[in-house]
């Protein structure tokens, strides 16, 4: 069987049915993939004032991750076991504004960002990495976390305790 296209007075063969079905299948697969990725991963902000304002207006907690993203083994482990997991991303989309205060050794960083992160580390008396500071919408510290065994489920449970007071 052939798939045909009418052009003017004549008929033109476009493709065999197998090719037509392949095209339909590919289009359906692309549509499904696009539809299943509608909920984007939460964005990690780097601007503290913007993150704090977003937390206040959206009535969510602000999670500030003090990290050495390119050298701190526990920071990398926390990212791999918690922050990159779908259950954390879903939780964060609903309940958190995420901010990264990074202290890299090998990656370049803007002078203003480096200054902001150093001031935040002094303000919250950061002694090591990773340290997670949780703030309410008014910027008040309601908790502090670090790496913990148990992955995303355990981390989310601790965040829920802080969220519910």
pLDDT tens string, the chain, 165 residues long: the values are 444 444 455 544 444 445 445 443 444 444 444 444 455 778 999 999 999 999 999 999 999 999 999 999 999 999 999 999 999 999 999 999 999 999 999 999 999 999 999 999 999 999 999 999 999 999 999 999 999 999 999 999 999 999 998
DSSP class of 39 = S
Question: 128 and 106 share a domain?
Answer: yes
CA-nearest of 89, 69, 87, 91 to 78 is: 69
Distance CA 14, CA 116 (A): 61
Question: 95 and 64 share a domain?
Answer: yes
Question: 8 and 24 share a domain?
Answer: yes
What is the extent of the structural domain holding 134?
44-164
Question: 106 and 31 share a domain?
Answer: no
Give Cα 146 distance to the centre of its chain. 18
Q: Which residue has the tokens 């309410």?
A: 136
Handedness of CA 137, 141, 147, 152 (dihedral sign): negative
Question: 105 and 143 share a domain?
Answer: yes
Determine phi and psi for 48, rounding to 5 degrees.
Answer: -60, -45
Q: What confidence score (pLDDT) does residue 40 get?
A: 72
CB of 65 closer than 8 Å to CB of 130: yes
Helix, coil or strand: residue 41: coil
CB of 142 closer than 8 Å to CB of 61: yes
Question: 20 and 101 share a domain?
Answer: no
Question: 52 and 18 share a domain?
Answer: no
Number of folded domains that form the chain: 2
């Amino acid at each position: 069987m052939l798939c045909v296209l009418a052009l003017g007075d004549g008929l033109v063969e476009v493709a065999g049915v197998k090719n037509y079905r392949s095209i339909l299948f590919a289009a359906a697969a692309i549509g499904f993939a696009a539809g299943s990725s509608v909920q984007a991963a939460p964005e990690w902000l780097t601007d503290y004032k913007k993150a704090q304002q977003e937390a206040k207006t959206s009535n969510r907690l602000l999670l500030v991750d003090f990290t050495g993203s390119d050298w701190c083994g526990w920071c990398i482990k926390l990212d791999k076991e918690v922050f990159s997991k779908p259950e954390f991303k879903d939780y964060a989309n609903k309940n958190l504004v995420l901010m990264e205060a990074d202290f890299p050794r090998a990656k370049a960083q803007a002078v203003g960002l480096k200054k902001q992160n150093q001031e935040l580390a002094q303000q919250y008396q950061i002694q090591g990495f990773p340290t997670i500071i949780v703030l309410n919408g008014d910027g008040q510290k309601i908790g502090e976390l670090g790496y913990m065994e148990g992955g995303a489920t355990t981390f989310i449970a601790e965040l829920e305790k802080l969220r519910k007071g």
